Amino acid sequence: MTTVLTNARCVLEDTIMHGTIVIDGRVITEIGEGVARTGEDVGGDYIIPGLIELHTDHLEQHYAPRPGVRWPLTAAIQAHDSQIAASGITTVFDCLRLGSDEEGGFERGEMRAMADAIKASQAEGRLRAEHRIHLRCEVSSADVMDHFAAFEDDESVGLVSLMDHTPGQRQFQTLDQYELYYKTKRGLSDEAFRAFVERRQMQAAIYSDRHRHALAAICGARGIALASHDDATLDHVEEAMSFNVSVAEFPTSMEAARASHEAGLGVLMGAPNVVRGKSHSGNIAARTLAEAGVLDVLSSDYVPFSLVYAPFLLADQVERIALPEAVAMVTANPARQVGLNDRGALRPGLRADLVRVGRQEGVPVVRQVWREGQRVA
C-alpha cells in the first residue's frame, strides 16, 4: 500500500524541507520538495522520524502503581504502550530492573515474566510500538547476576546499563542527596539511616566491581550495547571506555559529560530534565549540557510525552541548536548508539516510522503516528 503525505514540514537530518513523503509498504520510498496534487494534506504540520526511546521506567508505574501492588502484566504493558505510541515513540527499550535492594526492588523472576509478557503481547498484535528490552543492572546487589541469568539467551535484550546507587558517589555524590531519597522519604531515624548507608557501602565494596566486569564481558561477547550510569568523574568515563560502553546515561558533571561526548559515547539525559529546566536529583541540567554542545541523546525517563516536547524546547531556547539537531537526539542519535541502522531518519530506504506533529507555539500535538508504514496512532 502506498501512502503520500504532502504539504509537510519534513524535518530531515540537516534541514527542514516543505514537501512530500511517499511510503510504499514498510519503507520510505521518496521525499521531495513541493506540494503533491494527491495524497493526504497535513496542513503544514511537521513530519519527524518515529522517536526512539532508550531508557524509560514508565512501565514500572503501570506494573507497580502502589507499594505492594502488582497489576496484571498484559494490561500494564498495553497501558504503557498506548502512552508510548501516543507520544510518537515507535521503538522503545523498556527498562527492567535487575538486582533486589532495600528500596523495594523486584523479586527474582518478576522481570523475566514481564519480558515474556512483552514478547507475547507483541506477537499477538496488541502493541503499537516496537518493544525491546533494556536491563538496568544494579551492580552493588548481591543477586544481580542471578536475575541476569534469566536473560542470557534473550535476543530482545538490546541494551544493558551498569548502575550503582551506592551513597557517596555517582548520582549520590553527597549524603545530603541520599538522605533526601532514603531517609526522609522512608522516615528512617538517624541511627537506622547510618546503618542503611553502611550496609549499602559494604555491599558495593564486595560486589560492584566484580559484577560490573562480569556483565560487561557477557554483553561484549553477545554484542549487546552497554551503558554506563551516573558517571561523575574522568575515572568513571575511562572505566566505561574500557568496557566499550556506547551510551553514557545521566552523567552528573560537566567533566564527565564532556569526556564521554569527546570519546564518542552518546551522552544521554532525561527529556523531563529539559522540560523542567533542572534535574530532579539536583545534578547538572540537561540544558546546560546542550548549551555546551555535549548532549547527544534524550530519553523520556518517567514521562513519555517529554520525548517529543523537549526537542522543540531545545530548538526554541538554545541558540546553537536548530530543530533538526534537536530531533536527532530522539531519533538518529539513539538509533546509532544501539546499532539500529534501519530507522531514525527521513530517508528513502529506511523504515517508515513517522510522526506528524502540530505546533505553532507552546506544547506540540502528536496528530498521527506510523510504524513500518502502518498507522498506529
41 bridge partner residues: 6
pLDDT recorded at residue 191? 75
* 119-147: pLDDT as tens digits: 999 999 999 999 999 999 999 888 999 99
Q: Is the pLDDT of residue 103 over 60?
A: no
Q: Look up residue 24 and give its amino acid.
A: D
Looking at domain 1-49+343-377, which CATH architecture does it have? Roll (2.30)
* 284-295: pLDDT as tens digits: 899 999 999 999
Confidence band for 67, pLDDT divided at 50, 70 and 90: confident
Exposed, middle or buried by CB within 10 Å (0-12, 13-18, 19+), for 319? exposed
CB-based contact 107:68 (threshold 8 Å): no
H or E element that contains 370 = strand 365-371
Mean pLDDT (whole number) for 335-361 = 96
Could you tell me the three cell numbers for 96? 527492567
CA angle at residue 256 from 281 to 184, to 5 degrees? 20
Contacts of 145 (CB under 8 A, 6+ apart): 211, 214, 215
Which range (134-138, 166-170, 245-249, 299-303) has the least confidence?
Answer: 166-170
Mean pLDDT (whole number) for 99-126 = 87
**Domain range annotation of the chain:** 1-49+343-377, 51-338
> What percentage of the chain has pLDDT greater than the value 90?
79
Q: Is the pLDDT of residue 200 over 90?
A: no
Antiparallel, parallel or unpaired: β 157-163 and 266-270? unpaired
Q: Is the pLDDT of residue 266 over 70?
A: yes
pLDDT recorded at residue 203? 79
Other C-beta atoms closer than 10 Å to the C-beta of 174 total 11
pLDDT recorded at residue 186? 60
Query: DSSP letter string over 166-194?
Result: -TTBTTB-SHHHHIIIIIITTT--HHHHH
| Cell 559529560 belongs to residue | 257
Question: Taking all residues of the chain, what is their mean pLDDT, rounded to a whole number?
Answer: 91
H or E element that contains 355 = strand 354-358
What letter would DSSP give residue 99?
S
Three-class SS string for 11-70? ECCCCEEEEEEEEECCEEEEEEECCCCCCEECCCCEEEECEEEEEECHHHHHHCCCCCCC
Mean pLDDT (whole number) for 348-355 = 98
* 31-61: pLDDT as tens digits: 999 999 999 999 999 999 999 999 999 999 9
- Bigger pLDDT: 371 or 183? 371
Q: Is the pLDDT of residue 282 over 80?
A: no
Q: Give the chain's radius of gyration (CA, Å).
A: 21
pLDDT recorded at residue 107? 81
Query: Which residue from 301, 293, 296 is spatially nearest to 270, judged by alpha carbons?
Result: 301
- Bigger pLDDT: 68 or 308? 308
Backbone angles phi, psi at 259, to 5 degrees: -65, -40
Cα distance between residue 272 and residue 317, in whole Å? 15
4 bridge partner residues: 22
Looking at domain 51-338, which CATH architecture does it have? Alpha-Beta Barrel (3.20)
CB-based contact 39:23 (threshold 8 Å): no
Exposed, middle or buried by CB within 10 Å (0-12, 13-18, 19+), for 41? middle
Exposed, middle or buried by CB within 10 Å (0-12, 13-18, 19+), for 101? middle
pLDDT recorded at residue 68? 84
Could you tell me the three cell numbers for 332? 538518529
Which range (181-185, 345-349, 359-363) has the least confidence?
Answer: 181-185
> What percentage of the chain has pLDDT greater than the value 70?
91
Cα distance between residue 107 and residue 98, in whole Å? 9
pLDDT recorded at residue 182? 61
* 142-194: pLDDT as tens digits: 899 999 999 988 999 999 999 886 665 555 555 566 665 665 556 667 777 67
pLDDT recorded at residue 187? 62
pLDDT recorded at residue 208? 86
Cα distance between residue 93 and residue 248, in whole Å? 16
